[in-house]
Structure 1
C-alpha cells in the first residue's frame, strides 16, 4: 500500500505544478491536509511518486476508508476529496481579483484562468467526464453530437437507503436552498447536497444586477458554464432575460449563453433558481443554415430567418443588442398567445400557459445572434408526457426533458444505454436473445437492415443518432413537413 505521507507530498507537488500554490506554502498545505486526515505526525519519505491528480486523490481516499475516517459511500469520499483540494484554493475575493485583473487584458484570458483553476482543484470532475462516450452522427441537419452520460456514478443501494432514512427523519435542511445558490460556495456537503468545499464563483454585473459565473462539475461540452442569479428566485423568461443573455455575450464574446424555458416538460431540471448555461463551444445548431429569410418592418436594422433545424427556430442577427432584445421580446409575446389548433398548438388550458421559448445568444462574425426556439408543453391522452416531447417509440433512447443542451444538438443519453446497446449487438449477431423489452422493436429492425457495409459499432451509433433526430423533431412545434412549414410561415406572417 502507498505511504500516506508520500501521497500528501505528491498532491502538494501537483498543486505547485498547476500554479495553485507556491513552494513557500508547502508546509502549511501539508499541515492542513494532515489535520483533515486526523494525522498528528508526519514522516519524510524519499518515494518519488508519479501519480496524476486523480490517482493521488483516489489513493488518499483508499487510505481514509481503510483507516475508518470515512465509510464506503460516494458522497463521503467526494466530501473528503473536496475538503482536501480546498486547501490549495484562495478565498473567493482573491480569485475574483485575479479574474478581473486578467479580464482587463482579455475576457478569454480571464475565463481560461478560472476554467483551469476549476479543473485543477477537482471541482470539474474531469476523470469522470472522460468516461462519457461521445461521437458525432451525420444527419440531414448536419453533424449532431451524441453523448452517453457515464460521468455521474450511480449511487450504491445502501447510500440510497441512507438518504431515504434522512429524508423521512424530522431533520430538514433549507440551507443552501438549492444546488445553484450562492450559499453553496465552500459548503461541505451532505448526503442530499453535493460537496462544494472547493467551489468558487465569479461575481458578475449583468444588466445592472448581481449574477455569478461558475462551471458545471460534470461538463457536457467545452467550458460548460452556469450563470446564476444572486437571488433564489424561480426561472422566468421575460424581456430582462434577453437583456441578460446579450449583456453577458457583450462581456464574453467568445462564449454563447442560453436559457431553458420557465415551464415544466420543455424546461430544464432546475426551475426553482434563475440561471443560464453557456460556454466556449460551437453546437450543431449554430452551424444550421438559413432556410427562409424574412423582414419585420418594425426592426429594419435586423435580419430574420427560419433555420434548417428539427426544432422550430427563428434566428435574429444584428449589430445592436438593444434592437435584438426588442425584437426577441416582440416575437416572444406574440408566441405566448399564438394558437394553431390544426397543428395542436394551444397557448392556454384554463389558467395554465403552454407556449414558451428557449433563447440562445452568441456573437459571431461581427454580429450578435439570438436563436428563438418555439416550445409548447401540452399533453394529451395519446402523448401523456408531452405532445411536443419525445414520443413513445423513441423513449427507449431518450425519455427525459429536451432542455437547452439537447435543443442545440447535443444528445445527453442515459448511461444505461452502454450495456443495453451491447445486448442489441449480440442480438443482431445471433449471440443472444437477451434484449430489454422496450428495445425489442428497435433491435429487430436493426437486425433486418444490418448488411455488413460498415462496422456494427458504427451502424448502431448512427442509428442511435438518427433516433435523436426523431427526438428533436418530436419536440418541434411546426413539423418538418409541408404542412408544418406552412404553419410556421403563417406564424411569421402574423408577426
Structure 2
C-alpha cells in the first residue's frame, strides 16, 4: 500500500528546503508526488498517439491526446469574459510571497488553475483534484505556484500559476516573471499563452505559464534574417524561420532583454498594416498580442516573441489568423503556446475517425473508386463525414501509396494519413502567421521595424 500523500503545507515546506539546495531535486520531488498519487496518469499518457513528421520548417511533433477534451474557442472566450466581470482580489493574495506556506483562503475554486483545487472538497470525502500538489515559488515579488500538468504533453510538462485568480495579461511584468522563472529553473523553458480570445490558450481567466524539460520544434528553428533595432546593442534580434511570425531576442543582459521585449510588445499592440490584414484595434477591441517564450543557453537568455492577432471578419468568423474552417475537421481549438511552438495537441475523436477514414481510403484505392465516390461514402457516416472532402483529395493525390501493401506492424492510422494530418497542422501554423512568408509579409515586417526608427 502506498504512503499517504503529504499535506499541501508539508509539500511546500519540503520543496522550499530542496529548492534552497538543488532546483533539480526540488522539481524531481514534486513530479514524483504527481506520478505516485496518480494525478499524472502515466498509463493514460502512454496511450496517447504520438508521431513526428517532416515539414518545411523542420520536424513537427504530433499527438492525439486521449485525456484532454476538445474545447470550442467561443466557449473559451465566453469563460474569459465571465471571469473578467468578477472581482478576484483576496486579502490573502495581497500578502508578501515569502510569508505563505498555504494557498489562498479556502473558497470554492473559480477555475481549474486556482490553488483551492488542491484541498477544497466538491463532495464529502472527495477533493477537487485528488493528488494535486502545488509548490510555492516567487516571481517578480509575487507568490506563484508550480505544479505539473496531468496531460503531460512532454517530459515534466509544468505549469506556473498565479496565487491570485486574475486574467491572463501579457505586459512588461510578464517578461520579468518569465526571466525569473528560468533563473530559478534554468533546465526548463517557460512561456505564456496570449491574453486574448482565439489566439489565447484554453484558460484565459487565470494568469499562468507553461514549460518543462523539452526542446520544442520552434526552439530548434534557425534565424533567417537578423534585425538591428536602434538603441539595443546588448540584444541580438532576428526573424525566426517559422510559419508563425516570430522574433528571437538573445542577450546575456536580462534587464536589457526585458526592456526590448516590452518595446516590441508596445509597438506591436499599436501596429496596423492593411496589406497583411493586420488591424490593431477596432470596435471589437484590441487585437494584437503575443506569445513570449524564454529559455537559458548557459549565460544567454533567449526569448521568442510570437506575434498574434485575433481579428475576425465575415470571411473568417473564427479568426483571420486562426485555423480556417476547412481545417476544423483536424483542429478548431485555439492554437495556444505549445502548438504555436510546433507540437500539435489534436482532439481524441481523431483516434476513432482517422482509422475509419484510412480503411475507406485503402479500400477505395485498391478498388479503383473515384474520389467523388469515396467522398459520398464518408459523408454518409457520422464518424467520417467531416473528413470527406479532405479524404477525397488525398485519394486523388496519393492513390498508389494507399493501394500498396503496408509493411511492418499494423498501424491503425495509415502512414499516409499521419503525413496528411501533419500537413494540415503545418497549414494551420501558417494561417497563424501575421506576416506570411511572401513579398507582402516581408513588406509587413519592414513596416513593423520602421516603427522602431
Q: TM-score range by the shorter chain?
A: 0.7 to 0.9
Provide the rounded CA distance (Å) in 1 between the counterparts of 2:35 and 2:42: 7
Which residue is equivalent to 2:440?
A: 483
1:126-171 CA-to-partner distances (Å, cap 9, x unmatched) read: 22222210110111111111011112489xxxxxxxxxxxxxxxxx
1:393-429 CA-to-partner distances (Å, cap 9, x unmatched) read: 2111111111111111111111111121112212212
Which residue is equivalent to 2:237?
A: 304
SS at structure 2 position matched to 1:104: helix
Provide the rounded CA distance (Å) in 1 between the counterparts of 2:216 and 2:171: 24
Gap change, CA 1:190 and 1:363, over 3 Å in 2: farther
Which residue is equivalent to 2:36?
A: 120
Which residue is equivalent to 2:395?
A: 447
Provide the rounded CA distance (Å) in 2 between the counterparts of 1:437 and 1:99: 50
Equivalent of 1:109, from 5, 11, 25?
25
Gap change, CA 1:350 and 1:139, over 3 Å in 2: same
Answer yes or no: is the 8 Å Cα contact 1:130–1:151 preserved in 2: no
Answer yes or no: is the 8 Å Cα contact 1:187–1:197 preserved in 2: no
CA RMSD in angstroms comes to 2.1
Equivalent of 2:426, from 447, 466, 469?
469
Answer yes or no: is the 8 Å Cα contact 1:306–1:313 preserved in 2: yes
Which structure has the higher relative contact order (CA within 8 Å, separation 6+)? 2
Equivalent of 2:9, from 79, 90, 93?
93
Which residue is equivalent to 2:200?
A: 267
1:156-212 CA-to-partner distances (Å, cap 9, x unmatched) read: xxxxxxxxxxxxxxxxx9711211111111233469x98323211111111111111
Answer yes or no: is the 8 Å Cα contact 1:186–1:198 preserved in 2: no
Deviation of 1:111 (Å): 0.8
Provide the rounded CA distance (Å) in 2 between the counterparts of 1:365 and 1:312: 26
Gap change, CA 1:445 and 1:351, over 3 Å in 2: closer
Gap change, CA 1:294 and 1:458, over 3 Å in 2: same
Deviation of 1:96 (Å): 2.1
Which residue is equivalent to 1:187?
A: 120
Q: Mapping of 1:318-467 within 5 angstroms?
A: 318-350=251-283, 352-430=285-363, 433-434=377-378, 436-450=384-398, 451-452=400-401, 455=406, 457-467=414-424
1:94-120 CA-to-partner distances (Å, cap 9, x unmatched) read: 222222332233211211111111111
Answer yes or no: is the 8 Å Cα contact 1:346–1:354 preserved in 2: yes
Answer yes or no: is the 8 Å Cα contact 1:134–1:146 preserved in 2: yes
TM-score by length of 2: 0.83
Provide the rounded CA distance (Å) in 2 between the counterparts of 1:264 and 1:273: 13
Q: Mapping of 1:130-209 within 5 angstroms?
A: 130-152=46-68, 175-189=108-122, 195-209=128-142
Answer yes or no: is the 8 Å Cα contact 2:168–2:205 preserved in 1: yes
Answer yes or no: is the 8 Å Cα contact 1:259–1:359 preserved in 2: yes
Provide the rounded CA distance (Å) in 1 between the counterparts of 2:183 and 2:165: 25
Unaligned runs of 5+ in 2: 71-105, 365-373, 407-412
Provide the rounded CA distance (Å) in 1 between the counterparts of 2:13 and 2:405: 54
Answer yes or no: is the 8 Å Cα contact 1:236–1:274 preserved in 2: yes
Provide the rounded CA distance (Å) in 2 between the counterparts of 1:470 and 1:198: 38
Provide the rounded CA distance (Å) in 2 between the counterparts of 1:315 and 1:454: 45
Equivalent of 2:186, from 253, 262, 268?
253
Provide the rounded CA distance (Å) in 2 between the counterparts of 1:195 and 1:298: 51
Provide the rounded CA distance (Å) in 1 between the counterparts of 2:9 and 2:212: 23
Which residue is equivalent to 1:79?
A: none
Provide the rounded CA distance (Å) in 2 between the counterparts of 1:438 and 1:298: 52
1:294 aligns with 2:294: no
Pick the structure with greater CA Rg: 1
Gap change, CA 1:174 and 1:114, over 3 Å in 2: closer
Provide the rounded CA distance (Å) in 2 between the counterparts of 1:190 and 1:299: 56
Answer yes or no: is the 8 Å Cα contact 1:337–1:355 preserved in 2: yes
Unaligned runs of 5+ in 1: 1-11, 16-20, 22-87, 155-172
SS at structure 2 position matched to 1:471: helix
